[in-house]
Every structure is written in C-alpha cells, then in structure tokens.
Chains A and B, each alone.
Chain A
Amino acid sequence: DAKTTQPPSMDCAEGRAANLPCNHSTISGNEYVYWYRQIHSQGPQYIIHGLKNNETNEMASLIITEDRKSSTLILPHATLRDTAVYYCIVRARSYSGGGADGLTFGKGTHLIIQP
C-alpha cells in the first residue's frame, strides 16, 4: 500500500469546516483512499473512502485531486465531538480475490476543535 503523509495536528473552530489534507503521491491506479478516526482510545471509526471521484456521506466529504496524489477530508460543520486523530490510509484492491493484510495506520492528524 502507498505511503501517506499527514500534518501531525490541526485546530479548527467549532461550527467551521475542518479540512484535513493527506498526501499520497505514490498511489497507484488500483488503490483507494480510506479515512478513519479514533476518538480518545476508542476503536477506529470508518468515515469514508474513494477511488478517484469525490465522495460524500453523512459524516464527511472526500475530495481527491485529479492526479490522485493528494486528498482532503472535509467535516462540514465541526463539533467538539469531532476532536480525534484522523487517519488517511491507502488501500489496494485485491484482484486475486484472495486475502488482504490489515490496514496500515500512520500517526494521523490530531484534530482539535476549539469552542
């Protein structure tokens, strides 16, 4: 799986949009971008994933650049409960139909929502 680079920490004011960047310049064509978050020692929570088109769900939006070398996770109206470590993970599709290794978590971005 391709390596990702994220800023170690970010602040955002409550009610504003939080934009979390991720660089994955070595991503290959069959690799997806996944985002998870972990709120203070709880289990990681799946947020969203995408291949090349922008994606949106009830939690967030994922914007992937046209060259796919970077992406941004957008939390549209951040609340204090969004304070967490956010992980950007690049994940290959397994065309063989066989097994998959586990997710490779980096250090992520510690997002702090300020009241």
Chain B
Amino acid sequence: DSGVTQTPKHLITATGQRVTLRCSPRSGDLSVYWYQQSLDQGLQFLIQYYNGEERAKGNILERFSAQQFPDLHSELNLSSLELGDSALYFCASSVTGTGTDTQYFGPGTRLTVL
C-alpha cells in the first residue's frame, strides 16, 4: 500500500458524459501527478500539481482538466468522453515535486466509456 488513495475504483459511463476522478496523496506529500494508461499508448503523464498550483503539463487533452484543493487532494475532470478515453487513470504523489523526488502511485481508476 503506497498511501495514495483513488476513488472510484471503477467507472462506467457513456460517450459525451463528464466524470470526476479523485486522488488523495500520501500524508505529507505536496505534489500530485496524473497518468493515463491505455492499451495502445502505455503509461502517459497528464499533469502535475504542487501545493495547489499547476506545475507541469504532459499529454493532457483540452477536454480534461485537474485541480488540487487546499487539503491537497486532487480531482481529474474528464468531459465530452469518447470511447478512446477508456483507460486506467493513476494518481501519484511526491513530497516536493522536484526532479528526483520519488513518486508513489495509487491503485488507479478504471474508466470504461460505452
């Protein structure tokens, strides 16, 4: 158990809908990262937050957005969902969010878009 929690574990929804994934970082960690893992693209970095502020962006679609709240939990919002958004979504956290800071991953949310 990494100490990172994610809810829900599974989510099934329809195309065009909007969903919110939630992540609570390890106690003491200020930085949160979101990753997407699909069968054809592998594990890809989406976005990073540090202490409530966006720190870095990866391959995140404009339909996706995230935020980190004052209690440091984070939410990833996915809208206008398409079939291709079906994937595992992982959250990771680290203490400071700097380059060699070890990231610890949560168990993931499996999103299925029908």
Given contacts A44-B43, A94-B98, A97-B98, contact A102 B48 (CB under 8 A): yes
The interface residues of chain B lying within 8 Å CB-to-CB of A107 are: 42
Given contacts A99-B55, A100-B56, A101-B45, contact A93 B99 (CB under 8 A): yes
Asked whether B97 lies within 8 Å of A44 as measured between CB atoms, the reply is no
Q: Is B46 close to A, CB under 8 A? A: yes
Most-contacted residue by chain A among B2, B35, B103 (CB, 10 A):
B103
The interface residues of chain B lying within 8 Å CB-to-CB of A98 are: 55, 98
Asked whether B90 lies within 8 Å of A43 as measured between CB atoms, the reply is yes
What mask results when residues 55 to 92 of chain B are scored 1 for a CB within 8 Å of chain A, else 0?
11010000000000000000000000000000010101
Asked whether B90 lies within 8 Å of A100 as measured between CB atoms, the reply is no
Q: Is A53 close to B, CB under 8 A? A: no
Chain A, interface size category, equals 20 to 34
Asked whether B107 lies within 8 Å of A43 as measured between CB atoms, the reply is yes
Q: How far is the CB of B26 from chain A (nearest CB, A)?
A: 12
Q: Name the residue of chain B whose CB is nearest to the CB of A105.
A: B43
The interface residues of chain B lying within 8 Å CB-to-CB of A105 are: 42-44
Q: How far is the CB of B112 from chain A (nearest CB, A)?
A: 13
Q: Is A45 close to B, CB under 8 A? A: yes
Asked whether A45 lies within 8 Å of B105 as measured between CB atoms, the reply is yes
Chain B positions near chain A (C-beta within 8 angstroms): 2, 4, 33, 35, 42-46, 48, 50, 55-56, 58, 88, 90, 92, 97-108, 110
Known interface pairs A43-B92, A101-B56; 16 further A-B residue pairs with C-beta atoms within 8 A, sorted by A's residue number: A41-B110, A43-B105, A43-B107, A46-B2, A87-B43, A93-B98, A93-B99, A93-B100, A94-B99, A99-B48, A99-B50, A99-B97, A100-B56, A102-B48, A103-B35, A103-B103
Enumerate 22 A-B pairs (CB-CB under 8 Å) in ascending A order.
Answer: A43-B90, A43-B106, A44-B43, A46-B102, A46-B104, A93-B100, A94-B98, A97-B98, A99-B55, A100-B48, A100-B55, A100-B99, A101-B48, A101-B56, A102-B33, A102-B48, A102-B92, A102-B103, A103-B103, A104-B45, A106-B42, A107-B42
